[in-house]
């Protein structure tokens, strides 16, 4: 069987790896962006000089040859479902038995006047990074528009080079459409501590031409003009499906796929950022543009293709990020505004740089989500509590099981439990922490 | 603003290094014949050499190179005259053993140079050693502190920005220059210490103060080593002040270097006791079982016996027990001096270690070969040292005992490796077993056939080759000199026999592992890039597999630099036989796959 994968990101590469693990089908992976799969999430580190591009490759170049996965660097211009071929911009035609579309996302622009000017760019691809690198030279000021996870990375990148920057964020508090107010405030403080000129509640209105087609300044909705030589647009991403719009592939925001990641066309599948689930798991979104879902989809699809049909079930939501030096992890559901049937236990360190939040249902006391700032949590333990619908009073005494901070770090379980006892008039006691890893294993195996 | 501090710091550091280097040229040398007479300690040799010293008499040489060139020439002429004399007047040639005891040997020529050079020194430096020494110290301290200062001002957190863009951290010309400087220093230290006379003089006052004796090149080196660990340790402390694990372990290596490696031996030397570094363990301390060390210990009474007992206990009990509980990190990242230097002076270069599979293969062969070399050499030396008969420990009995120890070790490896799911490949254990049996077999066969050299070579030659190749070239010149070229753990990774031993225990039977946090890895590569041991940490983390590698020194940097909180160094016995078998980032469970296969 000939399998063609369009896109060599985490979804495509994972699909390829597992198809190879479970079969000896012919595999061809095509990308217009890079010779080898690299970690998109590490792009910032390449710019900042923490890593070289080659350090971001999860597998060495020989890996692909050794596993007989053919790599082609070209742009796919379209495919034909009847002849079962894909067309490359090199003029080449390749035929497939199964086609996997894993073309990821592109930055989303909102049609601002002047967004096509030179010096305006999103951050998604290697080419974007090269562009930003080029425009960083002798840059007097940059403006970053949009405060999500990519926006803060771009801000950190430019800041690491000492480039003065203004950070325009539409929300009242940083990322407050995702983060509850306390965490959002903490991130906001941390950004300001780092000396970033953060403009909350400020949106981009237009970008001004300097007369030669280059950016001169941006105009905000507050009536201010900010002179700058580069504008980074990080107002979100959208599935990269423009190249396919005119085909018979059924799309909405992304390529619509069923439970088994199959599109409306036979033998054509879509995974990763570009796929939109017709029916998302309860509590999950139809498009989740994160690394982990791409990886899980790739693996699930490989299983479907090589073994037997398997529905995509991402399980319990988790994610993590880093805002400058502030680490963030979430497990389960921790929405920005608390649903009325839920309550929250929120502990914050007096220094305002660490916090832990546990959400739970008011009536049943079943935990529904964990979110930590500046503290690391153990994925499997949180997941098991959530899966087992553990009660808050079962979780709290064993909180140490979920701690994943390095040894010798100060632990805060005591304070957290104390807070709970005070708030709810309970008398929960912490289990001793001795030999904690053994207890973790006992718990996970139980 | 911060850049200004850095720049000022660099300039002052360079000035300090410049003055330090220049101090080697701040003396002149006029031959003091008496020192040669004392140094040679052989009236015949001196008498035969004296005529050739005429050209040096009263002459002042402006530097140690010119001086030693002349001295060397004179000594070589003396050697030739001696050889002629032996041949013509006594009829002795190289085939006679008496010839070797009478002639002036090359090593004697080499070792007399330093004392003669020291005695012949004059000029600016001898009068101003204290002043120059203090100036160097202050310049280097002030420069370093200025350079580190911005670290104190920034928000605590990982600061690897620009590492791969930096010339000195990424093999640019400053890095190559620094590597050259360090390499040259080590070559001089081990093979041409006479040219370091200036530096030895700088620390002379301190040596007198601490132990009452003039400084040796080793005192100078020890002091330098301790200062470097202290200063670069401060850098680590500032850099990782958000990370308690890094703080404690850095303080620990600073403590062990200052107290155990430096001060305690000074104290013992001042008390006229044997003065070893108490935390140094065989086979890293490869001379522990050499005749002169054992004689020294035995001849100094209870304390000496304590030292002997301590050294053997550390090696046979301390290493396995501590490594079982904490992994090899208890030594490599918390106690060891080589590790201490690597983690402080070497920290800026950790990203230069080679991560390729090829490098890993070389590492596995090389480090275990050095271990075998150390074992063979030590057995040979001790066998030759021990009496052939008597009621106590004879050479024979010792050989039987060490063979037994080796067999027990191999047996334990087989036993535990079978139980441990993530143990060594059977092939590897087979190779190890065959090698051990060879060591026992060859030694036993030669012993039974009554040969005096168990492993063919004269044990003196064996140990001097070991000292030269492993002790000097590998551990010093390459191990540290190449920091800016090959990363900071070249020695620990490819050469240290103790690391090989610790690593075996860590791999076979230890509670230690690096846990991977479920599916959180984003494959960014920070962990692999900053692993000083060249371990491709990401390869494990992205599968969700715990990291269990014999080479991991548990520095904890991978966990520190991970931006997603994926890695944690920890100890636990519950799963000791299946550490690292589970794959946590596999979405479709392995059992599901297996059922269908
Ligand atoms: C800066 C940045 C930081 C991020 N950080 C995180 C993070 O910390 N955690 C997290 O979970 N997620 C993060 N993400 C999101 C994450 O990287 C994406 O969700 C993930 O990479 C999507 O993987 P994918 O395989 O679906 O697509 P992609 O990685 O986008 O790969 C698609 C590939 O297909 C190629 N392609 C597209 N169209 C064609 C065509 N017509 N012909 C040939 N090739 C084509 C593209 O060039 C690209 O190489 C980040 C994203 C960015 C941009
Ligand atoms: S794996 Fe981690 S702890 Fe071990 S040596 Fe490498 S960086 Fe250090
Ligand atoms: S373990 Fe951490 S540092 Fe290593 S690749 Fe994964 S996310 Fe990056």
3-class DSSP string for B7-70: HHHHHHHHHHHHHHHHHHHCEEEECCHHHHHHHHCCHHHHHHHHHHHHHHCCCEECCHHHHHHH
Long-range pairs, B384-393, Cβ under 8 A, ≥24: B384/B452, B384/B453, B384/B459, B385/B289, B385/B291, B385/B294
Out of A299, A303, A406, the one facing B568 most closely (by C-beta) is A406
Q: Does B188 touch chain A (CB under 8 A)?
A: no
Considering only the C-alpha atoms of chain B, give the largest distance between any 2 of them, rounded to a whole number of Å: 93
Entry pTM: 0.96
Pocket test for ligand 1, best of A14, A16, A18, A31 (most atoms within 8 A of CB): A31
Secondary structure of B132-177 in HEC code, one letter for each residue? HHHHHHHHHHHHHHHHHHHHHHCCCCCCCCCHHHCCCCCCCHHHHH
> Contact A435/B572, CB-based, under 8 Å?
yes
Instruction: Write out residues 265-324 of B within 8 Å (CB-CB) of A.
Output: none
- A-contacting residues of B 532-571, CB under 8 Å? 538, 542, 556, 559-560, 563-565, 568-571
For residue B555, the ligand closest to its alpha carbon is 2
ipTM tops the 0.90 cut: yes
Name the closest-CA residue to atom 5, ligand 2: B552
d(CA B176, CA B349): 12
d(CA B479, CA B228): 16
Cβ atoms of A261 and A286 closer than 8 Å: no
* Token pair of A269 as six digits: 């599948």
Residue whose structure tokens are 């923490």: A50
Q: How far apart are CA B381 and CA A335, in angstroms?
A: 71
Q: Please identify, by atom number, the ligand 1 atom nearest to the C-alpha of residue A298.
A: 25
Q: Could you tell me which residues are beta bridge partners of residue A251?
A: A255
Beta bridge partners of B29: B61, B121
The two tokens of residue A315 are 């399980």
B contacts of A48 (beta carbons < 8 Å): 160-162
* Secondary structure class of B390 (helix, strand, coil): coil
Per-residue CA distances from B69 to A364, B30, B103, B191, B471 (Å): 90, 13, 21, 15, 27
pLDDT tens-digit map of A173-187: 999 999 999 999 999
For chain B, what's the residue count?
Answer: 597
Go through B308-320 and write b for each residue having 16 or more CB atoms within 10 A of its CB, e for each that does not: beebeebbeebbb
Spatial contact of A152 and A232, defined as CB atoms under 8 Å apart: no
β-pairing, A230-233 vs A120-122, is: parallel
A320 → closest Cβ in B155, B565, B573: B565
Nearest CA to ligand 1 atom 5: A41
- The dihedrals phi and psi of A209, each to the nearest 5 degrees, come to -80, 140
Q: DSSP string of A132-180?
A: HHHHHTT-S-EEEE--SHHHHHHHHHHHHTT--EEEE-SSSSTTTTTS-
* Chain A partners within 8 Å of B519 (Cβ): 292, 295, 318, 379
Candidate of A104, A149, A249, A298 to mutate for ligand 1, largest count of ligand atoms within 8 Å of Cβ: A104
Q: Which atom of ligand 3 is nearest to the CA of B528?
A: 4
How far is Cα A389 from Cα A185, in angstroms, rounded to an integer?
A: 30
- A243: β partners: none
| pLDDT (0 to 100) of residue B181 | 97
Burial B255-279 (b: 16+ CB within 10 A, else e): ebbbebbbebbbebbeeebbbbbbb
Cα Rg of chain A (Å, integer): 24
Distances (CA, A) of B303 to B291, B315, B432: 17, 18, 37
Bridge partners for A355 per DSSP: A348, A373
- CA-to-CA distance for A427 and B277, rounded, in angstroms? 53
User: pLDDT value at position B457?
Assistant: 87
Distance from A340 to chain B by nearest Cα, in Å? 30
Q: What torsion, rounded to 10 degrees, do the Cα atoms B556, B558, B561, B563 define?
A: -120
Structural domains of chain A, ranges and CATH numbers in brackets: 2-105+238-306 (3.50.50.60), 120-235 (3.50.50.60), 318-445 (3.30.390.30)
- Say how far apart CA A33 and CA A61 lie, in whole Å: 15
B588 touches chain A (CB under 8 A): yes
What CA–CA distance (Å, rounded) separates A228 from A199? Answer: 15
Task: Assess contact for A84 and B565: CB atoms under 8 A.
Answer: no
Contact A226, A217 (CB under 8 A): yes
Give the Cα separation of B350 and B240 in Å (integer).
Answer: 15
| Contact state of A39 with B523 under an 8 Å Cβ cutoff | yes
Model pLDDT, residue B596: 52
- Contact call for residues A238 and A72 (beta carbons, < 8 A): no
Other Cβ atoms within 10 Å of B43 Cβ, number: 9
Distances in whole angstroms, Cα of residue B186 to Cα of each of A266, B91, B193, B455, B481? 69, 42, 9, 30, 7
Mean pLDDT, rounded, of chain A: 97
pLDDT in tens, A320-365: 999 999 999 999 999 999 999 999 999 999 999 999 999 999 999 9
- pLDDT for res B582: 80
Residue B570 CB neighbours (<10 A): 19
Q: Say how many residues make up chain A.
A: 446
Looking at ligand 3, which residue's alpha carbon is closest to its atom 5? B523
Tokens of B565: 């909180």
3-state secondary structure of B297: helix
Residue A51, CB-side half-sphere exposure with 13 Å CA sphere: 28
Q: What pLDDT does residue B1 have?
A: 59
User: Which residue blocks in B91-123 are alpha helix, DSSP H?
Assistant: 97-102, 106-119
How far does the centroid of ligand 2 lie from the alpha carbon of residue B352, in Å? 14
**Per-residue confidence in pLDDT tens, chain B, 597 aa:** 578 999 999 999 999 999 999 999 999 999 999 999 999 999 999 999 999 999 899 899 999 999 999 999 999 999 999 999 999 999 998 888 889 889 999 999 999 999 999 999 999 999 999 999 999 999 999 999 999 999 999 999 999 999 999 999 999 999 999 999 999 999 999 999 999 999 999 999 999 999 888 999 999 999 999 999 999 999 999 999 999 999 999 999 999 999 999 999 999 999 989 999 999 999 999 999 999 999 999 999 999 999 999 999 999 999 999 999 999 999 999 999 999 999 999 999 999 999 999 999 999 999 999 999 999 999 999 999 999 999 999 999 999 999 999 999 999 999 988 776 567 888 999 999 999 999 999 999 999 998 888 898 888 899 999 999 999 999 999 999 999 999 999 999 999 999 999 999 999 999 999 999 999 999 999 999 999 999 999 999 999 999 999 999 999 999 999 999 999 999 999 988 888 888 888 888 666 665 554
Q: Ligand 3 in contact with B566 (CB < 6 A)? A: yes
Q: What's the pLDDT at B421?
A: 58
- E strand or H helix that includes residue A279: none
Q: Give the residue ranges of chain A where pLDDT is below 70.
A: none
Q: Compute CA B561 distance to the chain's CA centroid, rounded to the nearest angstrom.
A: 27
For residue B591, the model assigns a pLDDT of 61
Answer left, alpha or beta for residue B557, where phi above 0 means left and psi between -120 and 50 means alpha: alpha
Give B490: exposed, middle or buried? Use CB within 10 Å, 0-12, 13-18, 19+.
buried
- How far apart (Å, rounded) are the C-alpha atoms in residues A398 and A381? 10
Distance CA(A232)–CA(A236), nearest Å, equals 12
Could you give the angle at the alpha carbon of A159 between the alpha carbons of A153 and A164, nearest 5°? Answer: 125
Residue B123, chain A, CB below 8 Å: the answer is no
């Amino acid at each position: 069987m000939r399998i063609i994968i369009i896109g060599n990101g985490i979804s495509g590469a994972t699909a390829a790896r597992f198809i190879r693990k479970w079969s000896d089908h012919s595999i061809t992976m095509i990308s217009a962006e890079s010779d080898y799969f690299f970690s998109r999430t590490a792009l910032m580190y390449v710019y900042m000089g923490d890593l070289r591009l080659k350090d971001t490759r999860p597998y060495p170049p020989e890996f692909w040859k050794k596993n007989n996965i053919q790599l082609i660097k070209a742009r796919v211009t379209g495919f034909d479902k009847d002849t079962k071929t894909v067309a490359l911009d090199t003029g080449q035609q390749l035929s497939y038995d199964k086609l996997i579309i894993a073309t990821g996302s592109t930055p989303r622009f909102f049609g601002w006047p002047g967004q096509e000017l030179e010096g305006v760019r999103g951050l998604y691809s290697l080419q974007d990074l090269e562009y930003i690198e080029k425009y960083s030279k002798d840059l007097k000021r940059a403006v970053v528009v949009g405060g999500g996870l990519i926006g803060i990375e771009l801000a950190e990148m430019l800041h690491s080079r000492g480039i003065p920057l203004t950070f325009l964020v539409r929300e009242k508090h940083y990322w407050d459409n995702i983060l509850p107010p306390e965490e959002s405030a903490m991130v906001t403080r941390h950004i300001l501590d780092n000396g970033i000129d953060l403009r909350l509640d400020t949106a981009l209105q237009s970008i001004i031409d300097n007369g030669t087609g280059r950016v001169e300044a941006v105009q905000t909705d507050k009536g201010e003009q900010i002179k700058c030589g580069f504008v980074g647009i990080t107002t979100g991403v959208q599935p990269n499906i423009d190249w396919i719009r005119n085909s018979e592939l059924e799309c909405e925001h992304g390529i619509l796929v069923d439970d088994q990641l199959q599109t409306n066309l036979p033998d054509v599948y879509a995974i990763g950022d570009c796929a939109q689930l017709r029916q998302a798991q309860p509590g999950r979104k139809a498009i989740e543009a994160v690394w982990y879902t791409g990886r899980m989809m790739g693996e699930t699809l490989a299983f479907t293709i090589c073994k037997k049909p398997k529905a995509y079930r991402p399980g319990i939501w988790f994610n993590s990020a880093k805002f400058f030096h502030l680490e963030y992890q979430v497990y389960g559901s921790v929405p920005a505004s608390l649903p009325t049937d839920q309550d929250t236990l929120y502990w914050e360190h007096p220094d305002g740089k660490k916090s832990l939040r546990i959400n739970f249902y008011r009536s049943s006391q079943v935990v529904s989500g964990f979110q930590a700032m500046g503290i690391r949590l153990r994925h499997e333990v949180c997941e098991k509590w959530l899966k087992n619908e553990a009660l808050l009073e079962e979780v709290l005494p064993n909180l140490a099981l979920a701690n994943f901070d390095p040894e010798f770090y100060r632990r805060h379980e005591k304070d957290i439990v104390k807070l709970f006892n005070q708030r709810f008039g309970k008398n929960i006691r912490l289990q001793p922490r001795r030999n904690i890893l053994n207890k973790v294993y006992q718990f996970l195996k139980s | 603003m911060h850049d200004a501090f850095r720049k000022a710091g660099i300039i002052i550091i360079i000035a300090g290094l410049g003055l330090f280097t220049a101090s080697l040229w701040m003396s002149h040398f006029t031959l003091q014949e008496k020192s040669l007479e004392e140094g040679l300690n052989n009236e015949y040799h001196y008498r035969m050499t004296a005529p050739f010293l005429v050209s040096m008499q009263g002459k002042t040489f402006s530097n140690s190179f010119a001086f030693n060139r002349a001295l060397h020439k004179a000594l070589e002429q003396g050697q030739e005259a001696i050889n002629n004399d032996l041949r013509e007047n006594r009829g002795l040639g190289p085939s006679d053993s008496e010839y070797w005891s009478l002639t002036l040997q090359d090593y004697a020529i080499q070792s007399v140079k330093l004392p003669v050079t020291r005695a012949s020194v004059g000029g600016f430096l001898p009068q101003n050693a204290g002043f120059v020494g203090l100036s160097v110290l202050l310049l280097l301290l002030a420069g370093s502190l200025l350079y580190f200062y911005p670290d104190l001002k920034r928000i605590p957190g990982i600061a690897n920005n620009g590492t791969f863009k930096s010339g000195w951290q990424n093999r640019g010309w400053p890095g190559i220059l620094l590597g050259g400087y360090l390499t040259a220093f080590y070559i001089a230290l081990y093979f041409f210490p006479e040219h370091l006379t200036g530096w030895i003089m700088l620390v002379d006052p301190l040596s007198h103060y601490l132990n009452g004796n003039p400084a040796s090149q080793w005192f100078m080196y020890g002091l330098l080593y301790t200062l470097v660990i202290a200063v670069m340790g401060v850098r680590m402390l500032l850099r990782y002040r958000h990370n308690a694990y890094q703080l404690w372990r850095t303080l620990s290596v600073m403590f062990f270097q200052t107290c155990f490696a430096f001060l305690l031996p000074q104290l013992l030397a001042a008390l006229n006791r044997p003065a070893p570094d108490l935390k140094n363990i065989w086979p890293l301390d490869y001379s522990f079982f050499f005749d002169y060390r054992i004689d020294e210990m035995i001849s100094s009474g209870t304390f000496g016996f304590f030292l002997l007992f301590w050294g053997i206990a550390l090696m046979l009990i301390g290493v396995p027990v501590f490594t079982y509980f904490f992994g090899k990190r208890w030594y490599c990242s918390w106690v060891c001096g080589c590790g201490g230097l690597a983690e402080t002076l070497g920290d800026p270069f950790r990203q230069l270690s080679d991560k390729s599979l090829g490098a890993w293969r070389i590492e596995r062969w090389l480090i275990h070969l050095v271990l075998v070399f150390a074992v063979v050499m030590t057995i040979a030396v001790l066998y030759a040292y021990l009496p052939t008969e008597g009621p106590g420990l004879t050479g024979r009995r010792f050989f039987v005992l060490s063979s037994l120890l080796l067999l027990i070790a191999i047996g334990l490896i087989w036993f535990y490796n079978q139980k441990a799911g993530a143990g060594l490949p059977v092939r590897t254990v087979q190779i190890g077993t065959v090698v051990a049996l060879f060591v026992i077999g060859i030694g036993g066969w030669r012993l039974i056939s009554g040969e005096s050299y168990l492993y063919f070579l004269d044990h003196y030659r064996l140990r001097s080759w070991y000292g030269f190749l492993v002790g000097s070239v590998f551990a010093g010149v390459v191990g540290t000199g190449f920091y800016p070229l090959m990363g900071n753990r070249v020695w620990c990774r490819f050469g240290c026999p103790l690391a090989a031993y610790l690593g075996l225990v860590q791999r076979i039977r230890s509670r230690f592992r690096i846990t991977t946090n479920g599916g959180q890895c984003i494959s960014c590569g920070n962990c692999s890039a900053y692993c000083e041991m060249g371990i491709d940490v990401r390869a494990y983390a992205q599968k969700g597999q715990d990291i269990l590698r014999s080479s991991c020194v548990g520095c904890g940097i991978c966990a520190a630099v991970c931006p997603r909180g994926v890695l944690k160094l920890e100890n636990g016995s519950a799963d000791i036989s299946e550490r690292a078998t589970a794959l946590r980032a596999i979405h479709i469970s392995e059992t599901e796959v297996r059922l269908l296969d």
